[in-house]
Amino acid sequence: MTSLHARTLTFLFLWLCALSLQPAAVFAQEGDLASPQIVQDAAAVSVTWTNRQPRNGDAPAWQAWPTTSVNGVDLPAQLITVQAIGDEAPEIVIGTLTSRAWTSRDLPFAATEPPTRVLITGEVYPPLTSAVANPQPPDSPVVLLRQGEQRGQRFVVLALTPIYAVDGEVREVSSLDFTVTGARLLGDGGVQASADWRLNEDVAGPSDISQQTALKVMVTKPGLQEIALRDVYASGLADADDVARLQLYVNADQVALEVDEAAGRLRFFAPQAGDRWNDATTYWLIRGD
């Protein structure tokens, strides 16, 4: 009995040690062949992807990926958002890359169609000419799609695409692993709400409310939007006694605003977000008379 008990404790100890050797964070399932394996280390993000050839004439698994515009063409891509650690920009370091020639007559991409701008009045403007004069696949399967800063933090969006070009020859990734140094994955806690707000006393709002203190609400995704009442109270724009006086405007037009004091929320519907020149639509929250 004593020997069995000792063997049991030894097994549990070794099992716990094995668990402690696992990476800090692993994303994507082992059996999910369509998705890259993403591992978060102390100061880097490692990505591994194997593009297994389909059998029996099936389409590649990556053809189910969402498309995004890369270098002027719409390509299937997996987007990876990272946050910089320190002052230096994250750096992409490709470890290994194998590929095969794309032999199909049908190219797995098309030139990006520039968006058409529709004003709130319903007036339609034709799209601008594409900024990319010669749209073609990128020369690397991993590209820096966009980057920027928010509240003093630098964020970078990477696009992993199975299709790229070498000297004009379209190629398909077979296997790939790369590291993003000086970065960490943007977790759920770092994702900002679709309706971002800030107190703006110096920035003029639209029309007759331009001289009033207002909260600037940036809508980046269409649909139902929410603003926490505690944030409104903290800004000093209004308190609990003034909540019924809150009014919301966009382009000098008042927008229907639902006040749910029980849930501590303001709600409104945004039919669209952004236009031909902007990624977001600006709303203004003021305290009316």
Q: What is the pLDDT of residues 98-131, one digit of tens each?
A: 999 987 767 767 776 666 767 667 777 666 544 5
- What amino acid is encoded at 55 in this protein? R
What string of DSSP letters covers the chain? -HHHHHHHHHHHHHHHHHHHTS-SEEES-TT-TTS-EEEE-SSEEEEEEE-PPPSTTPPPGGGGSPEEEETTEEEE-EEEEEEE-SSSPPEEEEEEEEEEE---SS-S-EEPPPPPEE-TTS-EEPPPPPS-SS----SSSEEEEEEEEETTEEEEEEEE-SEEEETTEEEEEEEEEEEEETEEE--GGGPPPSEEEEEESSS--SGGGTTS-EEEEEE-S-EEEEEEHHHHHHHTS--GGGGGGEEEEETTEEE--EEETTTTEEEEEES----SS-SSEEEEEEE--
Q: pTM above the 0.85 mark? A: no
In sequence order, the 6+-apart residues with CB closer than 8 A to the CB of 239 are 233
Q: Give one word for 151, left, alpha or beta, with left for phi > 0 and alpha for psi -120 to 50.
A: left
The amino acid at residue 137 is: P
Q: Which residues pair with 98 in a beta bridge?
A: 175
In terms of Cβ atoms closer than 10 Å to its own Cβ (0-12, 13-18, 19+), residue 214 is: buried
**Angle (CA) 56 64 179, round 5°:** 105
Rg of the Cα trace of the chain?
25
Sequence length of the chain is 289
Tens digit of pLDDT at every position of the chain (289 positions): 444 444 444 444 334 343 333 444 444 444 445 689 999 988 899 999 999 877 776 778 888 888 888 888 888 889 998 989 988 889 999 999 999 998 776 776 777 666 676 766 777 766 654 456 677 889 999 999 888 877 678 888 999 999 999 988 999 999 999 999 999 887 644 444 445 545 555 555 445 555 677 888 999 988 889 999 988 888 888 888 888 889 999 887 889 888 888 888 999 999 888 887 888 899 999 988 7
Task: Say if CB 160 and CB 67 are below 8 A apart.
Answer: no
Phi, psi of 26 (to 5 degrees): -130, 130
Backbone angles phi, psi at 208, to 5 degrees: -75, -5
Cα separation of 266 and 225, whole Å? Answer: 8
